[in-house]
Structure 1
Amino acid sequence: MLHRVRRLFGIYAAYHLPQDAPCPRCARLRLLPGFVAAGARALPDALRWARHRDPAARARVKQLLDLSGPAPVELDGTLFRARNNAPPPEGAAVTLVMPVYNALALTREALRRVAAHTEIPWRIVIVDDASPDPDVLPALRDWAGRQAGAELIELPENLGFVGAVTAGMQAARAWPGDPVVLLNTDAFLPEGWAARLLRPIWEDARVGSVTPLSNDAELGSVPEPGRAREIAPEVADAVDRYAATLNGAAQRAAPAGVGFCMALSPAALAEVPDFDPAFAPGYGEEVDWCQKTAQKGFTHLYVPDLFVAHMGGQSFGSEAKRALIARNSARITRRYPRFDAEVHGFLRRDPLVTARLALGLAEVEQTRRGPLPVYLAHSMGGGAEVDLERRIAGDLDRIGAAFVIRVGGVFRFTLELHSRRPDGSTGVTSGGTASAPLIAQLLAPVTARQILYACGVGDPDPVTLPDLLLSLRTPGDALEVLVHDYFPLSPTPSLLEAGETWKGLPDPQTASARHATRRPDGAGVPLSRWRADWGRLVYAADRVTCFSEASARLMAQAYAGARIEVHPHALHADVPAIPRPDGPPVIGVLGSLAPHKGAGVVQRLSRALTPRDPGLVLLGEIDPAYRLHRPARHHGRYAVEELPALVDRYGITCWFIPSVWPETFSFTTHEALASGLPVMVFDLGAQGDAVRAAMARGAPGALLPLAAVEDTDAILDAANRLSGAGA
């Protein structure tokens, strides 16, 4: 027992210790009181799992012990509080420094936006870095000549970004009281940007720099840090209009800002007035400046209420950029050995994740090609998760994004924005919260949604989930219930009674305690209340999608008149036809076995085997509370593509799918049938329907009566008959 406790605590500590913890042993000891307290809170659910094998109770234990995986970052509800609309301080002004190297079209638009969108008094120092394009310098002279407050510096030779910025910052010292904003020619300022970017500097003398969020701003990128994405200017402007409604006081400190659009405070510039020429021609210079000023007590912030489009690096070609990044990154590491760890720590706790989700969803609203799919799903894996992944992949192709509200994790809700990266992979931005209202606040920019219930098993208060989903449905939104299990019918999603026995759909008036639950405050929820609350969701749904006729019959029995449709799953992978091996009968048990999946049946069967009986091999895993007895063999996990080789290796002559609950759809049964070998199942649920249909087409199989759950001889006799029939 002691070694199990140690192992459990080791897993807990592994999830919660920072990778850069200076003393892991001391850190683990500090975690111990919290772990013990969490264990005490989890004890009732652990006992329910031990007694009833309730998967919802198991998920709750994992949630309370924070063992559902690395913890997501907690979302920050202060982002949606009222923003500070105080006017700028008297005499507030700003000086912009813009280095220019070719890119005339971008430069013209960037300058137009400076003039049109800056709402406080401003000046600009434009530095032409000896642009070889003959049209650039005349255009800059013309614009500066017509624009009050514009100064043009014409460098006789190319100095690179660092040299051009240094020349501009030296000229900006003519106005020592102004913040200086470094602005790339590919940074497109939105309307009313200045107060939002400069307010932290006006309000706190120890703020050294401020950077907005952007589609391409390293730590400040949306929706994923460090991943640049292209964005249309009009989309960026729309995202910024939404950003302007957020609470700018939810600003967050970071190890460094990003120089594409970065405000530098007068106080910090007085301490470190220039970028280090060692970083010429560019890349890493703003990191060096931020680290130097941080050593002098200044902080560097990102603001969530300003979004500035960054239209792509223009200063260097890709080869030159990679070389400069490598060289200057090495210099940063030598000068500031803790910088990489600071960046890692920032990303691990990602204090900007709420803003990334909020602005990412605001961008989705501008770019989606249909209603945004909003799923409620669990955190337990399995077939429902495989189906969810396939659906999301299709959503990304059709719509461009998907949103998942996941229950059963460390937080009550883990919110995930799935989007397509430029390289075609899937990006996920996620954060956790216990607040249902926060979900609605995040989704507020999205005006058309498709609400889908996938699975709510594992939620601590699941009777409230139907109303949560209904509250997220706006007029005209589609609503669909996916029946991956029978959670809409009972708090016990397998519908089984004590002892893992199937006695039919429980009646709300006579149901056993197995089909009742309690809310977190201790209030009881009988099955009648459960069905009434879930019935609101089921009857409101445009479609209740079942994956087998068996599950459709049960749903219709409980919710007469619901709009139920049957759409069977496709298999995850093609299963080739497998010839029966020569040799004595061998039963192959396919799939991972929980109690409701027949773990007890297979344990009893293995214990009953004699040398005269068929062999038994499990391809999959078995619940740790059960075990196989020799001579039964346990292969472990398998891939569908491996089935022919595994059949040949173990001499499997027939399959046994031992589930004792009425499956909503049985992937393993369909995989077994596709192999062409005989299949045995108990006569219930989707597994029974599938084998019955196959037998009607002439396939070998056996429908075992439920009484055979305890009758190992009946199972072995059926295996002998089927193996002989397939010889």
Structure 2
Amino acid sequence: MTDDRARARIAAVRDAIAANPFLRSPLATASRPPVDVIVPIHDAFDDTVDCLASVAVKTDAPFRLALINDGSRDPRVPALLAALDGAAPNVVVVDRPDNHGFVRTVNEGFRLGPASDVVILNSDTVVTPGWLARMTALAASRSDIATVTPLTNNGTICSVPSPLEDNALPEGYDVDRFAALIASVSLEIFPEVPTGVGFCMLITRRALDAVGDFDARAFGDGYGEENDFCQRAIEAGFVNLIADNAFVYHKGRGSFGPRGDDLLARNLATLAARHPRYHADVARVCAAHPLRPFHEYLGHALAARLESRQSVRARVLHMLHHGGGTEKHARDLAATDDPGVRNYVLVSHGHALDVDEYHAGRRLRSLRFPLRAAIGPYAPAPEAGYRDALATVCRTLEIDLVHVHHLMHHTLDIASVAAARGIPYVMTLHDYYTVCPSYTLLDPDGRPCGACLDPGHRGTPESCLKALGQPASYLHDYQQAMAAFLRGAARLFVPNIRVRDIVSARYPELRDTMTVIEHGHRPAPDGPRARRPIERDGRARLDVAVIGALDVHKGSSVLRDLLRANRRRETTFHLYGTAPDPDLTPAERDRGGRLDGSHFVYHGPYESTEIVRRLVADGIHVGLQLAVWPETFSYTVSEFVEAGIPVIAADLGAQGERIRRCRLGWTARSGRCGGDMGKRTKRSSPAEALR
């Protein structure tokens, strides 16, 4: 017997099914067989109506709907199926008064469309907009996919926001709003797992043909049959994926009722006997869940959306490679106290895009976006995997502005991704990478090379490019691509006027588009420093320091020249940091140590937050900035100045210009850098060196 409420619900779902464009379109118009969505039904009338109504309204991909009644005792179910039979051409109704069991019913559905992929959809589910389109797109992305399972509130390893739990919908969200949030923040990891979950599972036809149907003899009425199928599929060379960009709500055990616990226990024992490694494999996934970064970010997104979206005016993505002053500057910018800006620092290592999120001066959390193919340090050419990963970052984090700090281990796809999203990108030139992949403008021997700046230069870039594994002809195409990328930027920033002069020598048309903004420097928290007196205890001494990563372009050979040239016993040289020259970085020396005839102390690596304190504590009088290339900025100069220590540097690039302009010390002629610096440290007395 069917009451008025049931009749009204049946009429409403019939109208919705009849209106679905994919269900009412003839199958012949489809370019490929549509997916068969199989809904096994056993009682649970209200849940079934909710499920079918959601399928009718929210499915936006070609499909055929197969409804199979497995001996329902509720008279409303046959009435429902009778009303839906003939409601649309692509609806198939099988109404059986006898009960065959869930597994046999599903197998019957498999045979309704022998060429189609299938989706098993429990009748106690509610689908959401885009659910089927996302699942079928993932299923078509690889030839070895057996199953695809969406995220859900109640689906063990597919559960969100908390995995392995039966979750209520988060406060303030209905099913569709929560699904939209998941789609917007998805990391699209699509992890491989030991099994799909049968509440809503797409099975590819190629896997069905290779593996066969569910095992009805072993798994009876249900529970465990999909796990067994997925294990057999793995043995046949297939994979099972989670679609972490799709969400389907699952009430849970609506079809089985109180019998569910007994069925689950019995069939899990059968599963363990058939596949001895299954439970251990599932335990490993649970212990180190491949979707853990997404779970963390989803939790943060839920918390963040408790705040008004209008409270954040802009979301800025800072893009760079790992290390050096470039990363320090980007993180300083990201750590702004302004609560209206949410900053993300994206660092590419070539194999993944690692993103740290900052808000109101605090780093909140980290995310990782894997790359399908490695991106080398000098590979600006387009690459589809990088482009897709960056597009996912921008979509997931709702980026409004891209700030490019460096292109090493990135590609110029940044421009097309920004354009597709309709957002601008800006760039700060932290070195000369946009002019030459040998970003210091030095040749492999550490000598200045002007071939990349002036096409008419008598020299050739061949040796520089050969060292990078590229032919000399590579430079022309490289600069053409870089020029186009720079022209596409909404703004170009340079930290010093000398940088603008050097870059515009190669790209004169860009000179007027460059804005000079000098980098800031966050001082140490415990205030300004007083310089240590040169004469103490009646003895004169001069302690000279070099700080930083002392590579060849940073002046390691210049330091060795100074050590060899110095003969004054009162002068001691100190190195804080690292260097590839093994003679400069032995185990820490005491003050009696010597190198190349000079007193020399190696202090080892340091943290940027402690170097000012260490310089003061060690009584450093003079700082040396030994770089032999025209730097764009120098944090080591800033650290010396903060410690109250004057600096000697080559008259090159930003370091020379800044020291002269701000009267921070002295500059030495670049061609005679070591000699001129030596004269400053070899005056008749240490005090004279500081006059």
Question: Which bracket does the TM-score occupy, shorter chain normalised?
Answer: 0.5 to 0.7
Following superposition of structure 1 onto structure 2, how do residues 593-632 of structure 1 map, counting pairs within 5 Å?
593-610=550-567, 612-624=569-581, 627=584, 630=595, 631-632=599-600
Aligned residue number for residue 267 of structure 1: 213
Question: What code does the residue aligned with 2:473 have?
Answer: V
* C-alpha distance in 1 between matches for 2:226 and 2:340: 40
Counterpart selection for 1:478 from 424, 431, 444: 424
Following superposition of structure 1 onto structure 2, how do residues 304-315 of structure 1 map, counting pairs within 5 Å?
307-309=245-247
* C-alpha distance in 1 between matches for 2:137 and 2:640: 65
Question: What code does the residue aligned with 1:672 have?
Answer: F
Q: Report how far residue 600 of structure 1 moved.
A: 1.0
Following superposition of structure 1 onto structure 2, how do residues 188-227 of structure 1 map, counting pairs within 5 Å?
188-190=127-129, 193=132, 210-212=148-150
Instruction: Verify: 1:233 aligned to 2:176, yes or no.
Output: yes
* C-alpha distance in 2 between matches for 1:110 and 1:194: 17
Question: Structure 1 residues 458 and 596, CA, compared in 2 at 3 Å: closer, same or farther?
Answer: farther
SS in 1 for 2:544: strand
Contact 1:585 1:723 in 2 (8 A): no
Q: Report how far residue 689 of structure 1 moved.
A: 2.8
Counterpart selection for 1:549 from 470, 494, 497: 497
Question: Structure 1 residues 390 and 217, CA, compared in 2 at 3 Å: closer, same or farther?
Answer: farther
* C-alpha distance in 1 between matches for 2:391 and 2:137: 27
Question: Structure 1 residues 301 and 149, CA, compared in 2 at 3 Å: closer, same or farther?
Answer: farther
Aligned residue number for residue 649 of structure 2: 681
Counterpart selection for 1:112 from 28, 32, 53: 53
Deviation track 1:63-95 (CA, whole Å, cap 9, x = no partner) reads: xxxxxxxxxxxxxxxxxxxxx952248xx5613
Following superposition of structure 1 onto structure 2, how do residues 548-567 of structure 1 map, counting pairs within 5 Å?
548-560=496-508, 561-567=511-517
Question: What code does the residue aligned with 2:640 have?
Answer: A
* C-alpha distance in 1 between matches for 2:614 and 2:241: 55
Counterpart selection for 1:580 from 526, 531, 534: 531
What are the ranges of 5 or more consecutive residues in structure 2 without an aligned counterpart?
Answer: 1-29, 84-98, 111-118, 254-267, 302-308, 376-380, 586-593
Contact 2:532 2:621 in 1 (8 A): yes
Question: What code does the residue aligned with 2:623 have?
Answer: W
* C-alpha distance in 2 between matches for 1:169 and 1:604: 89
Q: Report how far residue 601 of structure 1 moved.
A: 1.2
Aligned residue number for residue 631 of structure 2: 663
Question: What code does the residue aligned with 1:536 have?
Answer: A
Q: TM-score scaled to structure 2, two decimals? A: 0.61
Instruction: Verify: 1:430 aligned to 2:370, yes or no.
Output: yes
Q: Count matched residues.
A: 553
Q: Report how far residue 545 of structure 1 moved.
A: 0.6
Question: Structure 1 residues 489 and 186, CA, compared in 2 at 3 Å: closer, same or farther?
Answer: same
* C-alpha distance in 2 between matches for 1:386 and 1:107: 57
Contact 1:654 1:678 in 2 (8 A): yes
Q: Report how far residue 585 of structure 1 moved.
A: 1.8
Q: Report how far residue 509 of structure 1 moved.
A: 0.9
Counterpart selection for 1:301 from 232, 235, 240: 240
Following superposition of structure 1 onto structure 2, how do residues 80-99 of structure 1 map, counting pairs within 5 Å?
85-88=31-34, 94-96=38-40
Aligned residue number for residue 438 of structure 2: 492
Aligned identity (percent) is: 19
Q: Report how far residue 126 of structure 1 moved.
A: 12
Contact 2:70 2:100 in 1 (8 A): no
Contact 1:654 1:677 in 2 (8 A): yes
Aligned residue number for residue 679 of structure 2: 714
Contact 1:209 1:262 in 2 (8 A): yes
Counterpart selection for 2:109 from 163, 178, 181: 178
* C-alpha distance in 2 between matches for 1:188 and 1:677: 67
* C-alpha distance in 2 between matches for 1:585 and 1:143: 96
Contact 2:669 2:676 in 1 (8 A): no
Q: Report how far residue 111 of structure 1 moved.
A: 5.8
Deviation track 1:511-562 (CA, whole Å, cap 9, x = no partner) reads: 5234776599965338677655533333443321101222123234443344
* C-alpha distance in 1 between matches for 2:217 and 2:134: 24
Question: Structure 1 residues 442 and 716, CA, compared in 2 at 3 Å: closer, same or farther?
Answer: closer
Question: What code does the residue aligned with 1:474 have?
Answer: A
Instruction: Verify: 1:409 aligned to 2:350, yes or no.
Output: yes
Q: Report how far residue 717 of structure 1 moved.
A: 3.1
What are the ranges of 5 or more consecutive residues in structure 1 without an aligned counterpart?
Answer: 1-83, 128-140, 151-167, 278-284, 316-327, 361-366, 460-464
Instruction: Verify: 1:691 aligned to 2:622, yes or no.
Output: no
Deviation track 1:228-270 (CA, whole Å, cap 9, x = no partner) reads: 9978725846997999xx9xxx998631224553358882242
Contact 1:212 1:220 in 2 (8 A): yes
Q: Report how far residue 612 of structure 1 moved.
A: 1.5
Q: TM-score scaled to structure 1, two decimals? A: 0.58
Q: Report how far residue 113 of structure 1 moved.
A: 1.0
* C-alpha distance in 2 between matches for 1:298 and 1:534: 44
Question: What code does the residue aligned with 1:212 have?
Answer: P
Question: Structure 1 residues 107 and 432, CA, compared in 2 at 3 Å: closer, same or farther?
Answer: same
Q: Report how far residue 608 of structure 1 moved.
A: 3.7
SS in 2 for 1:425: strand
Aligned residue number for residue 320 of structure 1: none
Deviating more after overlay: 477-486 vs 427-436: 427-436
Contact 2:627 2:649 in 1 (8 A): yes
Question: Structure 1 residues 495 and 626, CA, compared in 2 at 3 Å: closer, same or farther?
Answer: farther
Aligned residue number for residue 65 of structure 2: 121
Question: Structure 1 residues 117 and 533, CA, compared in 2 at 3 Å: closer, same or farther?
Answer: closer
Question: Structure 1 residues 257 and 399, CA, compared in 2 at 3 Å: closer, same or farther?
Answer: farther
Aligned residue number for residue 43 of structure 1: none
Following superposition of structure 1 onto structure 2, how do residues 631-650 of structure 1 map, counting pairs within 5 Å?
631-650=599-618
Higher-Rg structure is 2
* C-alpha distance in 1 between matches for 2:366 and 2:329: 16
Question: Structure 1 residues 220 and 672, CA, compared in 2 at 3 Å: closer, same or farther?
Answer: farther
Aligned residue number for residue 619 of structure 2: 651
Deviation track 1:340-377 (CA, whole Å, cap 9, x = no partner) reads: 697499989x9x99xx9xxx9xxxxxx99889867764
* C-alpha distance in 1 between matches for 2:637 and 2:564: 24
Contact 2:193 2:239 in 1 (8 A): yes
* C-alpha distance in 2 between matches for 1:503 and 1:199: 50
Aligned residue number for residue 569 of structure 1: 519
* C-alpha distance in 2 between matches for 1:387 and 1:191: 41
Question: Structure 1 residues 195 and 373, CA, compared in 2 at 3 Å: closer, same or farther?
Answer: closer
Structure with larger RCO (C-alpha < 8 A, sep 6+): 1
Aligned residue number for residue 254 of structure 1: 193
Q: Report how far residue 652 of structure 1 moved.
A: 1.7
Deviation track 1:440-497 (CA, whole Å, cap 9, x = no partner) reads: 56667979975554323478xxxxx66x555556386524232110122334321235
